[in-house]
Structure 1
């Protein structure tokens, strides 16, 4: 990665572009593509909205749904131990195209993952966007080295933020097509997903799904952050998280470019008091307790949609937004235990329904033929702990209080003998 693009090792992302003249000139150069993005979206987004009721729910494989993002160069041995403890069977690993010399290191790390399924997120830089010959050469090397041990390749990421290197969707379309052509010519069994649009900016996604480029996706990736709106149930332009998922799924369902697979390959909340490691300002940061609440509720809402094939939490070890803080040794946050208990409780669950009434949520599923309800409420309330309840906190601690406090933190209620 070369200037004016600079990587921030604290927050694991590029710094904002400071060269405003360069940024403006590049936007101007890509004006026609930006115009196409606008025109495509004003036609396809309304149609996608109308299509939402017709999109069928999918059968989601639980073992693939719970995915955890990791850095293969950060606390390697500890990372493998923590992944084993969490129980997640899918792992997402980032790889930077400007660090090709670490490819063998990445391969060794993946081989140590004990047969877990790997999603490899290939991060771009401006050099590979501008030099498609270089991109082809390096992708060929990556695919040749890893195609037998990587389940999914995510091609590119965060394409709607200039600091990540792309100044238009057409630049990304050309970038992705290089990977697609390699798949067709040499690696027919490689599974490629894109386009990695961040946040609720589906006009960019629309341009990647509806265009005349000769390529296709094996699934669509989205960095569906909702942290700037606070809780996952909060609204943005009239859409909460469930609505955003439904609209995106409808777009994928309508598109001739992709199979009906949807992978959320990045999401989290930044944690208060962790600057400069937090990837956003302090205004968006939340406490560690809320971080765990929001994470669990995000997963439950995505699971209940029956539209999302996997959700990757970003990420395992990161001081500003991870399940583990490694600034002074290894400290597991409460969200680590919440993630672990979530996976162990739901990895074999059969989802039944999500009931919502007056900001009170009840996620219902069957676990080994026993009814499990997970309750939370946006407005604190109480519930009597019945004799036929077996109740656990989000971290797996048994609760035996006569009156249950239902609020931000979800609680697990097993209904004994299937009583409802």
Structure 2
């Protein structure tokens, strides 16, 4: 792909689909010094908001999540586009997330054509920034108007900006992002009132930045909050980070969304994955964080199940369908579906229109219960492998859809789907 180079000292890594490391340390130091007042506000806001939101966590309002909208898949409109369309049909995904780079607006017609081919699906469009558009907000407004004019009738949600707490993505402070988002919001209010904008775009468990995007004096509103809630550096999604597991992190984030006067009570996880071992240079992290393809499938499913069980996440977009270092499909030499592809497909088949009932956790043993087509579905996994009897009233499937008829069921890292016969 012929790609315009980002404004120096920034550059794009086509292998891992993200900006390359920003190596100019002197430049980073100067920019952070220039943004000291914003960084100070981030600290002060966090000191006030984070403890208050922790106290408020038990009082958060749960909501009923529409499972049809919950499952979302990230796709690249320029990477194997015809195959992507076939795979989306096969997976039966109703929502997709597409990324558009502001420095590649020459591909806008190509993007629009791809979106029109997915007109039956719900579209989330993530607009990726570069330093040029952050520094020149008039240019950003001009180019964003071009995007809105072409796509606002075809896109359900626009995500404005991404990964705002990593300097290599172009932002050096939350206030820089606040000005960036306000430009988009003002344009939407003046010319495209029906467009829905989500923002914040903080990556990882760094809620001091999130707090500043939710509590500030800028005059804008969000239609929902976007978070890139990676937990890959901690291994399994149930693992703790500063005494918080994935469910705790979601609850805390949702509480801040609930408390903020700047946003509707809508939370979207718009990017997460695990990097896959032995895929360098395509893996977006070091080999230390990478996992096997088998664990990748386990962790992906459990991340989705826990997020759905929280009943606080409106949509969860996996990053992404085709990517050698972290996707469901490896396209390096030929098209190869990883085991996670079948896992994702079977998850959608069973849960897309299911009604969540409850989650039970006891000594590291997890049971989710759903009602699907008037049948009770339980999903079991445990962090400490054990066995249970396969009763006559069980109909058991592996996470990739194989019927299991063994008398003794091995429960472990890979969740099992257990339908209870004649339960309703």
TM-score after normalising by structure 2: 0.98
After TM superposition, the structure 1 = structure 2 runs for residues 68-147 of structure 1, keeping only pairs within 5 Å, are 68-147=73-152
After TM superposition, the structure 1 = structure 2 runs for residues 168-187 of structure 1, keeping only pairs within 5 Å, are 168-187=173-192
| Structure 1 position 59, deviation (Å) | 1.4
* SS of equivalent to 1:365: strand
Distance 1:174 1:85 in 2: 41
Pairing partner for 2:238 from 233, 237, 259: 233
Show the counterpart of 1:318.
323
Show the counterpart of 2:3.
none
| Structure 1 position 153, deviation (Å) | 0.1
CA RMSD, 1 decimal: 0.6
After TM superposition, the structure 1 = structure 2 runs for residues 218-297 of structure 1, keeping only pairs within 5 Å, are 218-297=223-302
* SS of equivalent to 2:270: strand
CA spacing shift, 1:113–1:418, aligned 2, 3 Å = same
| Structure 1 position 369, deviation (Å) | 1.1
Question: Deviation string for 1:254-295 (max 9, x for gaps)?
Answer: 000000000000000000000000000000000000000000
Partners of 2:200 and 2:225 within 8 A in 1: yes
Show the counterpart of 1:159.
164
* SS of equivalent to 1:266: coil
Unmatched 5+ stretches in structure 2: 1-5
Distance 1:373 1:293 in 2: 16
Q: How many residues align?
A: 419
Show the counterpart of 1:5.
10
After TM superposition, the structure 1 = structure 2 runs for residues 291-370 of structure 1, keeping only pairs within 5 Å, are 291-370=296-375
Question: Deviation string for 1:300-352 (max 9, x for gaps)?
Answer: 00000000000000000000000000011110001000000000100111101
| Structure 1 position 384, deviation (Å) | 0.5
| Structure 1 position 56, deviation (Å) | 1.2
Distance 1:310 1:348 in 2: 14
| Structure 1 position 214, deviation (Å) | 0.2
| Structure 1 position 114, deviation (Å) | 4.1
Question: Deviation string for 1:154-178 (max 9, x for gaps)?
Answer: 0000000000000000000000001
Show the counterpart of 2:30.
25
Distance 1:107 1:141 in 2: 12
Runs of 4+ in structure 1 deviating by more than 2 angstroms, as ranges, are none
Unmatched 5+ stretches in structure 1: none
Distance 2:160 2:116 in 1: 21
The answer to whether the aligner puts 1:197 opposite 2:202 as a matched pair is yes
* SS of equivalent to 2:366: strand
* SS of equivalent to 2:221: coil
Partners of 2:127 and 2:158 within 8 A in 1: yes
Distance 1:329 1:87 in 2: 23
Distance 1:76 1:328 in 2: 17
* SS of equivalent to 1:345: helix
Question: Deviation string for 1:53-94 (max 9, x for gaps)?
Answer: 111111111111000000101001001101111111000000
Partners of 2:119 and 2:154 within 8 A in 1: no
Distance 1:60 1:350 in 2: 9
